[in-house]
Structure 1
Amino acid sequence: MTVVALLLPAPLAASAAAASPGAPDESRPVYSYDRAVRESVWVDTGIDGDGDGRADRVAVDVVRPREPAEQGRRVPVVMDASPYYSCCGRGNESQKKTYDAQGNPVQFPLYYDNFFVPRGYAVVLVDLAGTNRSDGCVDIGGRSDIASAKAVVDWLNGRARGYASRTGRAAARADWSTGAVGMIGKSYDGTIANGVAATGVPGLRTIVPIGAISSWYDYYFAQGAALFGSGPDALADRVESPAARGRCQAVQRALADGAPRNGDWTPLWSERDYLKDARKVRASVFAVHGMQDLNVRTKHFGQWWDALAGQGVERKVWLSQAGHVDPFDFRRESWVTALHRWFDHYLMGYDNGVEREPMADIERAPGQWTTDRVWPPRATAPTTLRPAPGPAPGVGSLGTRAAPAGAVESFTDDPRLDESDWASRVDETTPAKAGFTTPPLTADLRLSGSSTVRLTVTPSTASAHLSAVLVDLGPAVIRDYAASGEGIRTLADRTCWGSGTTGDSGCFQRTEADTASVAHTVFSRGWADLGHHAGLSHGGPLTPGRPYTITLGLAATDHVVPAGHRLALIVAGTDARLVEPASTTPRVTVDLAGGEASLPFVGGSRAFARATRHSDPAYERPGAPLNGLRPPAPALLR
C-alpha cells in the first residue's frame, strides 16, 4: 500500500526523514481510523491495594492503526492515565469512555485518538487503580496511582504482564509498541504524568502536564494554611468506582488520617511529593499552565520547572492568562500543531527542530502571545523591594529604600474579604489590609518567575493566617478567569480534529476568549499559617504580642506591568474563598523595617530603577475603588 509507506516507522523515521531529500518532516494521516484496532487489556500492577489477595489489574483501552501491525511494524504511544473516565469525563465537553455490548471500547475521550492514530500512533487511556474498570483503590497521587500508570509503561516495553480480561489468564502482549511513550493530561492526569516521570521509568520519552500538581501538599495547603475544599479522602470517594468504595474503606481512612487539616507535613505528603525525585526525570517536559489557575496554582508549575532546571531535562512551557483550562480550548490550532511536532520529535524521532525553538510562549493579552528563547529570560534577577509608610495608615509605598526603624502598619483579619476587595481600595485606609505601591511606572516592568515576601509580624491572638499578593494597578482587558469558563466561552458550532466514527466523531465545540475589562489585576499570590513559621513539620499556637518572622512563597508568573500602571504589594489576612480562616481573627502588626519582597524582574534592579526613575513620589492617588475580578469558588480538581 504505497500511501501507507509515506509514514516511516519509528524510531527509524528520524534518520530516514532527515537523510532522504523530499521525505516528510512530520507524520501524516495515512492510516485508517475506522479500521483501527480497538481493544482492552488489563495490566498487572504488582500491588494488592484492595487487599483481596491478588495483584491489582488496571484497565487499559487501546486504539492503534491496523496497517502497521499487518506489516509487522510497531508504533509509539500517546498515553493519558486518569481517574475521570467514568465519573466525571474529560475535556470541555466532559467526555467519558463508552463501550459496545461486548465491552469493546468505542469512544476515547478528547481528540488524541482522532488526530494521532491516523498518523501512526497508538493512543492508550488508562483507568487508574480503583476507577472505572480497574481493580485496586485510589490513593490520590500515591504509590497505587503512580504504579497504575508506570506498570502500563512497563507493559508497553515488555517488562510487565498484561491480560486479555480482568480475571483471566490469557496473556496480552504489546508486541505492536515501539516502547516510546509520551504521557499527557490535564489536572489529575498531568499530575500522574509528573509522578511517573519522577520514577525515571525507561521508555517514557516525554510528558505534557497541563495544569498539573507537583506536590500534593501544595494542592491542599499553603505553608500550613488550609486551602478551601475537602481533603484527599473526599476526592478519592468522588472518583472511585462503586465497587471500589466498598472495598477501599481502609485506604480512605488512611488518606483522612494521614492528611490532617492542621497543615502539618506528614509521611503521606512525602510520598506524594514528586519534587524530591526530580533528579530521576529523563523524559522531556512540555508544561502548560494558566497563570490565573486558582485550582492548581502556578506554584506547582514553578517549583517543578525549577527542580528540573538543573537536571538537563529538555523543557518547553506555555503560560496562558486563563484559569484551569486545556490549551485545546484557548489556542486550539496552534496547540495541536505544537503538540504534533513535539510528539513527532520525541516519540517518532523526526528532526523537526522543535527542541531548538523558543522555550516559552506567554499570553500577554487575550489571544496575544510572545516567545522567549529561555524561560525565565537570562536577564531575570531577583530584586529586593521594601514596604514603607505612606500618606495614610495602611497606604504605603514600595521601593528600594528600607523603612525607618519602628515603622509599622496594622490590619485586622476579615475572613469575609478577598484579594479583589483589598486591591480595589489599595489607596484607601481600610482595616483589613496594608497596601504598598510604586508611583506610576515610566517604563514597562516585567516579572518572570517566583517571588517571596519576608515579613516580621506580631499577632494579637494565638493563630493567624497571612496573605501577600502582587497587583498590577491599571486598566486592562484580560481573560475572565473568575467566570465559569475560567477565561473561555464555549460556542455551539464544532470543528473537527482528525478522523471520526459514529461513536467517536473527532469534532469538538469551538471556543473563544471570554474577556473582562478591569482596573487592577492580581497576578501572583502567596498564603501561610503563621503557626508554621518555623517549618511545616509541626505548627502550633502563637504567643499574642510576640513578633514572628516568616517568608511567604508567591506563585510563579510572567507579567508585564505597563508604563503608567503601578505595582502593588498587599499584605492581609484570610483571602476569602481561597484560604480557610484561622481559628481566631487577629489584629496583625507588620514591622516595615524588617519586611522585604524579592521579585524576579527581567533586567533586575536596573529595570526597576529605569521604570521608576522619573516618577513623582508625590503623585495623587486615585480616589475611586479599582474594579477587578473576584476569585472563583473552589472547584473539583479536573
Structure 2
Amino acid sequence: MTHARTPLRATTASAVFATLLAGAALGLAPAAQAAPLAPLPTAAQAADSSVRFVDIPGDGGATLAANVVTPRGADGSQRLPLVVLPTSWALPQAEYLAQAQKLADSGYVVVSYNVRGFWQSGGEIETAGPPDVADASKVIDWALANTPADPDRIGMAGVSYGAGISLLASGFDKRIKAVAAMSGWADLVGSIYSGRTQHAQAAALLSGSGELLGRPSAELRQIFQDFLGSDLAKEKDIVEWGKKRSAATYLDRINANGAAIMLANAWGDSIFPPNTYAGFYEKLTGPKRLEFRPGDHATGELTGLLGLPNDTWNDARRWLDRYVKGERNGIDQERPVQLKSRTADGYEGYPSWSAVPSTQRRVDLGETRQITANADSGANAGTVLLTGALDQFLKIPPLVSVPLLSRERAAVWQTDRYGTAQRIRGTVRLHTTVTGDKSSGTAVAYLYDVDALGVGKLITNAPVTFHDRTPGTPFAVDLDLFSTAYDVPAGHRLALVVDTVDPLYIEHNPDGAHLTFSSPKADPSYLSVPVRD
C-alpha cells in the first residue's frame, strides 16, 4: 500500500461528499440529536402498541439509547417473542420504528438500540468489535428482565452495521434463534479490501460519517488513517482487525449455535459487495436463506424503513415468524436462494448458490495487450451509493462507448454478437497473466453489455492489486468480479475492459508504469461467465 495515487486530502473530501450523499439518501440531517427516519406512531397505531424510550446498560458500563415497542395489552401475563434491532452505522435509534411497529402489531416485543459510539449512546465506535457483540447480549438480558420477552424465542435483525452485529452475535449468544441480516457483510476484509485493493469511497463514507455523527475510538481512527493512507507496513494489522469483525471468522460457532440465518443484499452494494454473503451462505449448516436484488447499499431496505411496502422486510418478518415464533408459514419450503435480475422482473428460486448458473461459458483472451497506468481510460464503476441506486430505480448503470476507449489506457477484448440472450447469473471469473514493469500495480476489470452502436452498460467489475513483484516477470492472476444477475440481449456482445484507474478504488501504479496482459500456451487467459440456459 505504499504507492497509492489517491492523496489523503482527496479522500477526506470524498468522505464529506459521501456522508452528505448518504444523509440525503437515508433522510439524515447531521445534527447532534437523533432525528427520526420514519414518522412516530399515529394515534391509531399507538392504540395497537406502546413505545417507550429507555437507556440500557451495555458492556463495560456504556449506556445504550433504545426504544421498546410492545404489543397492545402486553401486561406480562404471557411471554412474547423478542426481536432485537441494532442500528445501522451513523443512524439514530428511530431508524427501525416503522418496522418495529409492524413486528409489535404481529405480537413481538421489539428493542431497537443505538449502537455504541453513535448519537445518544455512550462509548466509542468499535466497528462490530467484541464490545458491540457483548452489547447485543446485554440488550437481550435487559429485555428479558424488563419486558415480557420469552427467553426461548429471540431473534435479531438489522440493516448494514446492524446486520453485521446481528450475524456476529449469533455466534456468541445461543439464545438467538434467528437472524435477518440485510445489506451487511460476512467478511469485512473481503468487502472493503477485495483484491488487496482499498475501496476508497466506501471507507471514506464510513470514516466521514463516523466523525460527523459519532465518536470513533483511537484504534478506529488509526485503522482508517493507515488504510486510506496506504501504509503497507500496517497491512497485516488491518487484516487482523477486520477478521475479528467478520462472521466468516466465527463460522464454526455460528453453525454450532444453529441459528436460522437469512442473508439479503443488493447486487450493486458499493460498500459490502454480495460475494462474501454468497460464499458464507454456502458454508452455513443450519436453516438458511439468501436473497439478492438490484440496488446499492441498503437501498433494497430503504422503503421498508420508511414504512412502505418492501420485499426484503416482508421476507425478514416471515423468517422471524418461522424461526422465532415457530409459525408454519411456508418460507422454509421455498427454494432458499432467491434472486431478482437487474434487467428482468420477478424472482428466481434455486436450491443453492452453486446451482444458480447452469453452465460456465468460457471466453478466450488470446491476444496480448499492454496499457499505460495512471491514466483514466473512461471506464469506471461509478459512485458509492448513487450508481447502484440509479441501476435499481432507473435501470441506468454506468455507460461507456467501447470503440472510443483509449487502447493505450485500456485493454479490451470483445466476443462476437450472441444469437440468443445470455442470462448471466453468479460470479464472473477472470484468469490472466500479468507482467508489470514496476513491483506494484493495480488493475480494474469491467464487464460490459455492448449494443450495436458500441455503447456498453456495466455488468460487473472488480479491482486487483499486487506488491513486491519482480519487474518484467509474468505471474498469474485469478480475479472474481462482483456477483450479479444480468440478461444480455440477443444481438449484443460482451466486452472485457481492464484499466488502472477508478474513483471507487485506490490504485498503486507508480509513475510511468505499464501492465501487459498475455495468454501463454501453457496457461491460457480466459473469462469464465456463469449463465443460466
Please say whether Structure 1 and Structure 2 have the same fold, judged by a TM-score greater than 0.5.
yes
Q: Which amino acid counterpart does residue 370 of structure 1 have in structure 2?
A: Y
Q: Which residue of 2 aligns with 1:394?
A: none
Q: Where do residues 327-406 of structure 1 align in structure 2 (5 Å cutoff)?
A: 327-329=301-303, 332=309, 334-335=311-312, 337-364=314-341, 368-376=345-353, 378=355, 380=357, 383=360, 385-388=362-365, 403=366
For 1:561, which of 488, 493, 496 is the aligned residue? 488
Q: Deviations over 1:204-252 (max 9, x none)?
A: 2222222212222234322222222356665543442xxx56xx44664
For 1:138, which of 107, 110, 125 is the aligned residue? 125
CA drift of 1:336 comes to 5.0
When residues 135 and 352 of structure 1 are mapped into structure 2, their CA distance, relative to the original with a 3 A threshold, is same
Are residue 444 (structure 1) and residue 421 (structure 2) matched? yes
For 1:74, which of 75, 79, 92 is the aligned residue? 79
Q: CA RMSD in A?
A: 3.3
For 2:62, which of 56, 71, 88 is the aligned residue? 56
For 1:190, which of 152, 163, 169 is the aligned residue? 163
When residues 366 and 258 of structure 1 are mapped into structure 2, their CA distance, relative to the original with a 3 A threshold, is closer
CA–CA distance in 2 between the matches of 1:369 and 1:307?
A: 27
For 2:194, which of 207, 222, 240 is the aligned residue? 222
Are residue 261 (structure 1) and residue 230 (structure 2) matched? yes
TM-score (norm 1): 0.64
When residues 45 and 255 of structure 1 are mapped into structure 2, their CA distance, relative to the original with a 3 A threshold, is farther
Q: Which residue of 1 aligns with 2:12?
A: none
Q: Deviations over 1:113-165 (max 9, x none)?
A: 22221221122111212223333221112222222223323544x5xxxxxxx
When residues 418 and 64 of structure 1 are mapped into structure 2, their CA distance, relative to the original with a 3 A threshold, is farther
Q: Match of 2:270, SS?
A: coil
When residues 437 and 150 of structure 1 are mapped into structure 2, their CA distance, relative to the original with a 3 A threshold, is farther
Q: Which residue of 1 aligns with 2:266?
A: 290
CA drift of 1:410 comes to 0.9
Q: Which amino acid counterpart does residue 369 of structure 2 have in structure 1?
A: E
Q: Which amino acid counterpart does residue 230 of structure 2 have in structure 1?
A: R
Contact 2:198 2:227 in 1 (8 A): no
Higher percent of residues as strand: 1
Q: Match of 1:295, SS?
A: coil
CA drift of 1:598 comes to 5.6
Are residue 312 (structure 1) and residue 286 (structure 2) matched? yes
For 1:601, which of 522, 525, 530 is the aligned residue? 530
Q: Which residue of 2 aligns with 1:111?
A: 98
CA–CA distance in 1 between the matches of 2:275 and 2:375?
A: 23
CA drift of 1:411 comes to 1.2
CA drift of 1:525 comes to 1.5
CA drift of 1:529 comes to 0.9
Deviating more after overlay: 360-369 vs 143-152: 360-369
Q: Which amino acid counterpart does residue 228 of structure 1 have in structure 2?
A: A
CA–CA distance in 2 between the matches of 1:555 and 1:189?
A: 23
When residues 444 and 257 of structure 1 are mapped into structure 2, their CA distance, relative to the original with a 3 A threshold, is closer
When residues 279 and 449 of structure 1 are mapped into structure 2, their CA distance, relative to the original with a 3 A threshold, is farther
Higher percent of residues as helix: 2
Contact 1:302 1:555 in 2 (8 A): no
CA–CA distance in 2 between the matches of 1:79 and 1:364?
A: 31
Q: Deviations over 1:377-409 (max 9, x none)?
A: 637366363433xxxxxxxxxxxxxx3xxx521
Q: Where do residues 66-215 of structure 1 align in structure 2 (5 Å cutoff)?
A: 66-70=72-76, 72-82=77-87, 84=89, 88-89=90-91, 96-97=92-93, 109-156=96-143, 158=144, 172-197=145-170, 199-215=171-187
CA–CA distance in 1 between the matches of 2:301 and 2:336?
A: 16
Q: Where do residues 407-556 of structure 1 align in structure 2 (5 Å cutoff)?
A: 407-420=367-380, 423-425=400-402, 430-474=407-451, 519-531=455-467, 540=468, 542-556=469-483
Q: Which amino acid counterpart does residue 163 of structure 2 have in structure 1?
A: G
CA–CA distance in 2 between the matches of 1:367 and 1:543?
A: 46
Contact 2:377 2:499 in 1 (8 A): no
Q: Which residue of 2 aligns with 1:34?
A: 47
Identical aligned residues as a percent: 17
Mark the structure with the bigger radius of gyration.
1
Contact 1:463 1:530 in 2 (8 A): yes
Tell me the number of residue pairs that the alignment of Structure 1 and Structure 2 aligns: 458
CA drift of 1:356 comes to 0.7
Contact 2:200 2:504 in 1 (8 A): yes
TM-score (norm 2): 0.76
CA–CA distance in 2 between the matches of 1:422 and 1:459?
A: 28
Q: Match of 2:243, SS?
A: helix
For 2:506, which of 580, 586, 589 is the aligned residue? 580
Are residue 275 (structure 1) and residue 237 (structure 2) matched? no
When residues 580 and 318 of structure 1 are mapped into structure 2, their CA distance, relative to the original with a 3 A threshold, is closer
Contact 1:297 1:555 in 2 (8 A): yes
When residues 250 and 217 of structure 1 are mapped into structure 2, their CA distance, relative to the original with a 3 A threshold, is closer
Q: Which residue of 2 aligns with 1:632?
A: none
CA–CA distance in 2 between the matches of 1:564 and 1:253?
A: 51
CA drift of 1:353 comes to 0.9
Q: Deviations over 1:191-213 (max 9, x none)?
A: 2222223x242222222222212
Contact 2:82 2:154 in 1 (8 A): yes
Q: Which amino acid counterpart does residue 127 of structure 1 have in structure 2?
A: N
Q: Which amino acid counterpart does residue 190 of structure 2 have in structure 1?
A: D
CA–CA distance in 1 between the matches of 2:68 and 2:343?
A: 37
CA–CA distance in 1 between the matches of 2:227 and 2:507?
A: 22
CA drift of 1:578 comes to 1.0
Q: Match of 1:218, SS?
A: helix
Q: Which amino acid counterpart does residue 78 of structure 1 have in structure 2?
A: V
Q: Which amino acid counterpart does residue 272 of structure 1 have in structure 2?
A: R
CA drift of 1:433 comes to 1.2
CA drift of 1:188 comes to 1.8
When residues 226 and 361 of structure 1 are mapped into structure 2, their CA distance, relative to the original with a 3 A threshold, is same
Structure 1 segments unaligned to the other structure (5+ residues): 1-30, 48-54, 90-95, 98-106, 159-171, 389-402, 477-517, 532-539, 608-638
